[in-house]
Structure 1
Amino acid sequence: MTVLLLNFSAPLQAWGASSRFNYRDTRREPTKSGIIGLLAAAQGRSRSADLADLAGLTVGVRIDQAGQILEDFQTEKDWRTGKAKALTWRYYLADARFLVAIEGDKDFLTGLSENIATPKYPLFLGRRSCPPASKLVIGLTDQTLDEALDSHPWLASNWYRRRQPKKLQLAISQDCPASKTPDEFIRDLPVRFTQRARQHELRPVRHRFTWIDNPDGVGNDDHNNHDPFALIGGDS
């Protein structure tokens, strides 16, 4: 098996798994439905296309830069009648970065990598208002999914690294194998994306952590000489 590594980075991302109607929430990590939707768009699949081959891929996500939840309260008026429409609340993740690992057949993932590099349709990180800020494809590796998620270099911004401890844990969420007990069930496994009859099934998910070193991080001595104004500055 082979693993395709992707970099999900953008000013705004949105990964809803249970939101409906006027409230559009977001999880703190990409959903499998959102990842498969991006892959399907890269291949140019229609909303009515069969998704079984993409849904069968094993997916894992490492939270390299935890985003902040941003609420967008929207009002709208029908220009034809002048009447106000229903109020809506949309939630986004701001300044988040994720390492996304997809495990599957080497030839199939090689094709997917090429599709993502030159997509048939525009690609978004959850919603159409969330285009990626950088190149998505990192590359292919012969490591296992766990090995890739544990060993790949940290993707966080420099300013974010300087605010973290010198040794920290990164949260990982991934498809739970049948041999293990899942930590959570998320309804984000797509069966179909058609507008009138969208359908998602429950997906067993495993949560864990991996340790990384952060030479630029804050240590005990740094806390003793804390300068609050230093947090105002920063670069990406």
Structure 2
Amino acid sequence: MSVLLMRLAGPLQAWGTRSRFVHRHTETAPTKSGVIGMLAAARGLRRTDPLTDLLQLRFGVRVDQPGQIIRDFQVARTLDGRTSMPLTYRHYLSDAVFLAAVSGEQTLLHGLDAALARPHFPIFLGRRSCPPAGVVSLGVHDGDLGDRLRTWPWQAAAWHQREHRRHRTVRLEIQRDAGPDDPVTETMPDAPVSFDPTHRRHAWRSVVRDHTAVENPLARPAIDHDPMDVLEGWTCT
């Protein structure tokens, strides 16, 4: 089995499973529906196109940098400015970084890897107002999806790694599709069936939550107290 790894990072992300009317919520980690939708856009699939081969992919995500949930208020007007739409409340994840993975047939994954490098349609981290920062694809690799999520190097931003420099390893949460023999932690309504705006459908999927410990490349465990440590990385102007 092969695994396509992706680094999902950006100023804002939004991965909703329960948005209704004027409230647009976000989950605290990327959803399977959102990532499959991003891959479909990269391949050039339209919302009405079938998702046949993409629906067979197994999905998992590791929370490398949790970020913070923020709320925004938005309003729209008609072109003539006479009519205002209802005020909407939109929630986002700010400064978050995730390691996402899909596993499946190798030829399909290599095609998705190429599509992410040159996407047919723009790709976003959930909503259209959330473009990714930096390269998304980390390539196709042999191995099990769970093993790759447990052992891949930490993808958090350098400033976040420095904040944890007193620790040689960090404990990160993993959410992945449950296998036949896995103890199911929860179910989520984010398995895409159709993105057709006139007949959008999602199914429930079984999810396993666990944790892994990865090395911090910027670790500097404390031996003696140094009061000047707080000035590390500062420059005088």
TM-score, normalization: structure 1?
A: 0.90
Tell me which moved more, 184-193 or 160-169: 160-169
CA contact (8 A) 1:169 1:209 kept: yes
Query: In structure 1, what is the equivalent of residue 126 of structure 2?
Result: 126
**Could you tell me how far apart the structure 2 residues matched to 1:147 and 1:118 are?**
28
Q: Counterparts of 1:129 and 1:217 in 2: how far apart (Å)?
A: 34
What is the match of residue 179 of structure 1?
181
1:8-49: CA deviations, max 9, x gaps? 111111100111221111111110000100111111111111
Give CA deviations for 1:201-227 in whole Å, capped at 9, x if unaligned. 1111110100123253475668x7678
The CA distance in 2 between the partners of 1:115 and 1:210, in whole Å, is: 30
Report the residue type matching 1:39 in the other structure: L
Kept after mapping to 2: 8 A contact 1:10/1:131 = yes
- Secondary structure, aligned partner of 2:163: coil
Which residue of 1 is the match for residue 211 of structure 2? 209
Flag the 1:218–1:202 CA change in 2: closer, same or farther, 3 A.
farther
Residues 114/215 of structure 1: CA separation in 2 closer, same or farther (3 Å cut): closer
Question: Any idea what the Cα deviations from partners look like across 1:98-137, whole Å, max 9, x if unmatched?
Answer: 1111111111111111111111111111011111111111
Distance 1:177 1:198, change over 3 A: same
Compared CA separation, residues 190 and 161, structure 1 to 2 (3 A): same
1: CA distance, partners of 2:49 / 2:227: 56
Q: Distance in 2 between matches of 1:186 and 1:172?
A: 15
1:79, distance to aligned residue in structure 2 (A): 4.3
What is the identity percentage for the equivalent residue pairs of Structure 1 and Structure 2?
41
- Structure 1, unaligned stretches of length 5 or more? none
Separation in structure 2 between the aligned mates of residue 7 and residue 106 of structure 1, nearest angstrom: 19
Tell me, yes or no, if the aligned pair for 2:153 and 2:215 is still in contact at 8 Å. Answer: no
Q: Over residues 144-201 of structure 1, what are the superposed CA-to-partner deviations in whole Å (9 max), with x where a residue is unaligned? A: 1111111111111111012125132011100011222211111101111111221111
In 2: Cα distance, 1:227 partner to 1:143 partner: 44
Residue ranges of structure 2 left out of the alignment (5+ in a row): none
Change (3 A) 1:170 1:109: same
Partner of 2:96, secondary structure, is: strand
* CA distances 1:50-81 after superposition (whole Å, capped 9, x unpaired): 12321210111011111111111113333436
CA spacing shift, 1:225–1:75, aligned 2, 3 Å? farther
Counterpart for residue 74 of structure 2: 74
Counterpart amino acid of residue 90 in structure 1: R
The answer to whether residue 188 in structure 2 is matched with residue 168 in structure 1 is no
Residue 146 of structure 2 contacts residue 176 of structure 2 at CA under 8 Å; is this kept in 1? Answer: no
